[in-house]
Structure 1
């Protein structure tokens, strides 16, 4: 009885978190600023390279090197195909990133995930037994739809969007606490089982490797753009990673556990990376604008 209540509560909390966080991002997103940032070809190319080329490749390599069991390996691959946590704007504020480029990266990540994941998964993870349409459907409903609703509301009334944003943000923060608490309560035994499989270490190395790679390859970008590429690439959209699993009735529980672990780990590494990037920020007058 209790386990059933926890399971349904977790599902509701997860869906509410995804919908609320992405609506919140859409409410704050200035399409004109994001569109201007998307004209920065160097930024766009580096974002795509870090998020959708190096990310999945690194996930595959780490899964094989660590010899992760099939379910954990699949979970890591799903995370590799779902870059950019919805709380990127908050991390960008800490690292002194450009809000327009933060919005642009979120657009790139959202659209890229919806396009790349349904195409890539049937080939790299045939054991999931899911077709492109069944993978794309939850992504469209849980990623693109709420994101688009937030943008539409801001387009209709910027004033109303600004007023709604603090309320939704508080609800999302409360939802995160419920989500993490229930996820741990329901899966604590499975989470403990991961200790002997190096799944936690694999995720930490995965996120850290993404941060180092994206920071290194974007060295010609100014700090306020470079930190966006780094933070967007080294954080994961856990909801988007879990979405394909919801479309498969016989999904391996280990894959779900791997994604639940990511909810904790991506928060810790994301905020730690943002703090480090803020410290690495060039002093006023010393930064060279690489345009």
Structure 2
């Protein structure tokens, strides 16, 4: 059994990791750049549909198809309810996507996660012994508040935000590394058991199917918008997925491991999808929808 000091250090690192990522996102997010995407009704509908209906439904479906332990299934469903990683813009830029629409998707999904997850999670996970408010509280404190602070800082002083953002990014990077190391120290053994292997299979299936379907079934969107939707749905906001675990007793370990295991898999899936669909676009092979 690990000393309590490791557990406390992990919780502190997680809070800095989560809040720092969203503060960094807010400092970089330009609401004016997002207006084009927010005015595109088709894009907004696809974002909300894939983000908060189809992605969670796929997570539930995969958890039923593959016999996961309950806590691993909860981790997958939490990721299903938390679309769009804060590090999406570099992936979209590499894939030649629309960065203005990226800003719109990031804003929609961040706010949508805080609104939807507290009500959807108890419905999707039977017998969950927490209230909607218990789920919403860490989301508001660790996700929405840093995002709003970052956006307001940028609104009041773009120069000030540009000066602060590199420091926030560095601190968040250190917290991310510390979180990864502490997770290995505290939960390392559980990463190699049989349920963990099933968890990897479930994550692979989830992210591959999500990457492909969210691209192919975005009818009416051209490539720069379609790739934003696909990579935004394939990447997950792990901070938002982890935040409710502070309110759930008895499921933290395996559910958190499930979320952490999802990080390299989702990044690989998003990058491979961007490269594959981009290649098909250049060669004229990918012609679905718009």
> Considering the TM-score relative to the shorter chain, is it more than 0.5?
yes
What does the per-residue CA deviation read over 1:107-145, in whole Å, with 9 as the maximum and x for residues that have no partner? 111111111111112222132211111111111111111
| 1:6 Cα deviation from its structure 2 partner | 2.6
Partners of 1:203 and 1:262 within 8 A in 2 = yes
1:163 equivalent in structure 2: 163
What does the per-residue CA deviation read over 1:243-286, in whole Å, with 9 as the maximum and x for residues that have no partner? 111012333532222122123322332333333344344479xx
2:127 alignment partner, SS class: helix
1:45 equivalent in structure 2: 45
1:83 alignment partner, SS class: coil
Distance 2:225 2:183 in 1: 34
2:109 equivalent in structure 1: 109
1:276 equivalent in structure 2: 276
Q: Does 1:72 align with 2:79?
A: no
Residues 175 and 274 (structure 1), Cα distance of their counterparts in 2 relative to 1, 3 Å cut:
farther
Structure 1 residue runs without a partner (length 5+): none
Partners of 1:180 and 1:263 within 8 A in 2 = no
1:11 equivalent in structure 2: 11
Distance 1:38 1:214 in 2: 19
Which has the higher mean CA deviation after the structures are superposed, 172-181 or 184-193? 172-181
Residues 175 and 279 (structure 1), Cα distance of their counterparts in 2 relative to 1, 3 Å cut:
farther
2:211 alignment partner, SS class: helix
What does the per-residue CA deviation read over 1:64-84, in whole Å, with 9 as the maximum and x for residues that have no partner? 111212111111111111111
Which has the higher mean CA deviation after the structures are superposed, 37-46 or 120-129? 120-129
Distance 2:184 2:93 in 1: 29
1:183 equivalent in structure 2: 183
Distance 2:281 2:177 in 1: 31
1:221 alignment partner, SS class: coil
> Structure 1: which 4+ aligned runs deviate by more than 4 Å?
194-197
Partners of 1:51 and 1:233 within 8 A in 2 = yes
When the two structures are aligned, how many residues end up with a matched partner?
Answer: 289
1:85 alignment partner, SS class: coil
Partners of 2:26 and 2:151 within 8 A in 1 = yes
Q: How does 1:15-26 map to 2 (within 5 A)?
A: 15-26=15-26
Distance 1:36 1:178 in 2: 38
Partners of 2:199 and 2:258 within 8 A in 1 = yes
Distance 1:58 1:207 in 2: 10
Distance 1:178 1:269 in 2: 24
C-alpha RMSD over aligned residues: 2.4
Partners of 2:60 and 2:124 within 8 A in 1 = no
Distance 1:196 1:263 in 2: 14
Which has the higher mean CA deviation after the structures are superposed, 127-136 or 177-186? 177-186
1:60 equivalent in structure 2: 60
Structure 2 residue runs without a partner (length 5+): none
TM-score (norm 1): 0.91
Q: Does 1:211 align with 2:211?
A: yes
Residues 42 and 203 (structure 1), Cα distance of their counterparts in 2 relative to 1, 3 Å cut:
same
Distance 1:36 1:230 in 2: 18
